[in-house]
Amino acid sequence: MPVPDWQAPSAGYPALAGQVNQFLGAHQVQYLYTGTLQATEAAAGGTFTSSNGLWIAQSFTTGSAQTAVGYVVVAAAAEGTPAPLAVSLQASAAGAPSGTPLVTAMLPAEFLSGTFAYVTVPLPAAVTASTGYWIVAAATGDASDNYSLRQSDQVSGTSTSPSGSSWTAQAYGLLYAVYDQSPGGPLAATWEDSGARWTAPAYGSGGQLAGLNEYTAGQAPGSCAASSRTLTWTSGLLTGVA
C-alpha cells in the first residue's frame, strides 16, 4: 500500500482514505539536529515589516564549506488569525530571490503571538558553498490578520515585493539565523513527507525539553492542524503540558 502524505482533517470537508491510512506505514522523515550556525544577524534595531500585501526576503551567504541548509530561525509575531505563512529558501538571481523555492515550510500563527519571538522553521535543502541565497516570506493576510518580521540594526540585506517577482532593496535587514545539517546537538526539527508535517522542539536549561511545535497540512487549501505546547517540570518530573 502506498504511504500517503500526512494530512489533517478540516471541518466541513469529508474524510479521506489517506487520513485513515496514514498511520499504517512509515513516512519519509528527515531528522535535523542543532548543527552549525552558518549565517546570522542577531542585533535588533528599527521596527518590523508586515506581511500584509508584501513579500519579505532576507539575503545571506552560505559558509565556505556549507552544502546544506537544515533550518532557519526568524524573529516573528502574528496578529489576529492569518493563514499559515509560506517561508521558502530561494537561490539568488541578479541580486534578488529567483522566484523558484528550493523548499517551502508553512508557519502557522499558532506558533506565534503578538510579541516578537524567535521561531525555528525547517528548510532542508542542498546548497552551494559561498553562494548567496534568500529566506523568503510570502505576502499573507490583511491589516487585521498578518505576520511581522523583526528588523535588525543593519542598513541592507532585506528586499520586499508586492508580487514575489519584482523586488526592491530596503535600507534594513532582518533578525535571522541559518543552520546547516551537520550532526551534533539535540534534535532541532523533523521534516516529514516534504513538509506535509514538521515538528520543532524547544529546550530549557540543561537541555530539558520545554516545548513542541507540531504542524500538519490540512485537507482544505491553506488549512492545517497546529499545536504549540509548553512542558512544565518539577524536580525532574513532567508536571504539566499546556
Q: Give CA–CA dist 94/154, Å, rounded.
A: 21
Mean pLDDT over 77-104 rounds to 97
Query: What distance lies between CA 110 and its chain's CA centroid?
Result: 13
- The cell numbers describing 136, all together, are 523568503
Mean pLDDT of the chain: 94
Q: Evaluate if residue 3 carries a pLDDT over 80.
A: no
Residue 224, domain member (yes or no): yes
The number of beta carbons lying within 10 Å of the beta carbon of residue 240 is 9
Number of domains observed in the structure of the chain: 1
CA distances from 12 to 106, 218, 222 (A): 22, 12, 14
What is the domain extent for residue 176?
Answer: 28-241
Per-residue pLDDT of 207-228, as tens digits, reads 899 999 999 999 888 889 999 9
Q: Are 63 and 131 in contact (CB under 8 A)?
A: no
* pLDDT per position as a tens digit, 35-80: 999 999 999 998 999 999 999 999 999 999 999 999 999 999 999 9
Cell numbers describing residue 209:
525539553
Asked if residue 1 belongs to a domain, the reply is no
159 lies in a domain?
yes
Judge whether residue 1 has pLDDT over 80: no
pLDDT band at 88 (very low <50, low <70, confident <90, very high): very high
pLDDT over 90 at 203, yes or no: yes
Q: How far apart are the first and last CA of the chain?
A: 37
The three state secondary structure string of the chain is CCCCCCCECCCCCCCCHHHHHCCCCCCCEEEEECCCEEEEECCEEEEEEECCCCEEEEEEECCCCCCEEEEEEEEEEEECCCCCEEEEEEEEECCEEEEEEEEEEEECHHHCCCCCEEEEEEEEEECCCCCEEEEEECCCCCCCCEEEEEEECCCCCEEEECCCCCCEECCCCECEEEECCCCCCCEEEEEEHHHCEEEEEEECHHHCEEEEEEEEEECCCCCEEEEEEEEEEECCEEEEEC
C-beta neighbour count of 225 within 10 angstroms: 18
| Mean pLDDT of the region 10-21 | 82
Note whether residue 187 is domain-resident: yes
What pTM did the predictor assign? 0.94
165 phi-psi bin (left φ>0, alpha ψ -120 to 50, beta other): alpha
What span, in angstroms and rounded, lies between the C-alpha atoms of 190 and 132?
25
Residue type, 141: G
pLDDT, average across residues 21-47: 93
Q: Is residue 174 part of a domain?
A: yes
The pLDDT tens digits of the residues spanning 135-182 come to 999 999 999 999 999 999 999 999 999 999 999 999 999 999 999 999
pLDDT at 206: 82
pLDDT digit string (tens) for 124-138?
Answer: 999 999 999 999 999
